Amino acid sequence: MKVSIIGATGYAGAELLAILQRHPQVKITHITSESHTGKKISELYPHLYKICDMTLESLNDIEKIGADSDFVFIALPHGHAMDVGKKLENLPVRIIDLGADYRFDDVTVYEKWYKVEHTHKTAQRVYGLAEIYRDKIRNAKIIGNAGCFTTASILALAPVVKNNLVDVDTIIVDAKSGVSGAGRSPKLGNHFPELYDNFKAYNVAHHRHTPEIEQALSDLGGESVTINFTPHLVPMSRGILATCYAKLKADVDEKILDEVFQNFYGNEKFIRLLGRNAYPETKFVRGSNYCDIAWHFDERTRRVIILSAIDNLVKGAAGQAVQNFNIAAGFDESTALDVVPFYP
């Protein structure tokens, strides 16, 4: 397959390039950057030297890039993929967007939370969370890759919501992310003296991944789901740990929880069930496409507490995009992703 990456110089784009570089069924034909056009990618990311020394192109001739590609990955900030998608809609090329532009069934939800007019409302798209929407992804023209916080949260909660084990109006997600999730562009809050030895919440009750989590859980449970989602920033480069809480229905016990998680994910390559009372850690999934999940039964409060850990740049972004690509292209789902987490 010939693939191109639009926006290859952000953290997610560079991670995607590194994964696709080792994919035996992929030829990377074009990589783009508007701010670094004409430079080699290895000048910006020296770890890619002699691995990938391709020259970055401009988006000026996106139709030509699309005509020369079977798949186009878009790794741009929200609001930019729509324009690319519209220009490519009459070509046979398929699109995987790592941003938010194609994640929502209802574009008015996107417009409300992202404060941007959606200019490609007629796009035929599916939500790109492989373990949940695999069958829809296979033939999709446009795949809206799931977000990082959302991946950790939805995968944690999907079994209990799908099987009607919890009261959906009691769901709380408390999640922590490494700073690479904020992107490569420098910001004061990501400046080393501001970040180091610090731990903070942000965008409380207003984070843009909230409606994305609600959309997927509502679809899974067959009823409208509204959650509390609170993100935090921790002084590490990679990783997300999500702690999810929900009130259990009266007849649910530990054995039912164990059985539901095993039945839901027992055959999934990239979901590692650590079991009841275990503790996932971000370091154990670092650099990998795995999502580690554990659950705790609090008999005193009748709540389930579900923990999930992912690498935000891999399972939360580039790795998930390649997993979706493998499904859509008909390759083994783990191609180029079957790597051991790097440790320590």
Q: What residues are labeled active site?
A: 148
Check: CB of residue 72 under 8 Å from CB of residue 3: yes
Query: ∠ CA 173-260-239 to the nearest 5 degrees?
Result: 40
**CA distance linking residue 316 with residue 262, whole number of Å:** 22
Phi, psi of 40 (to 5 degrees): -80, 140
Q: Which two tokens stand for residue 216?
A: 């997927």
Q: Which two tokens stand for residue 323?
A: 């997993």
**CA distance linking residue 316 with residue 173, whole number of Å:** 16
Check: CB of residue 2 under 8 Å from CB of residue 69: yes
Check: CB of residue 132 under 8 Å from CB of residue 103: no
Alpha helices in the chain (DSSP H): 11-21, 41-44, 62-67, 81-88, 107-114, 130-137, 148-162, 192-195, 210-221, 254-265, 319-329
Half-sphere exposure of 207 (CA within 13 A, CB side): 25
How do beta strands 200-201 and 228-233 pair?
A: antiparallel
**CA distance linking residue 230 with residue 233, whole number of Å:** 10
271 Ramachandran zone, left/alpha/beta (phi>0; psi -120 to 50)? beta
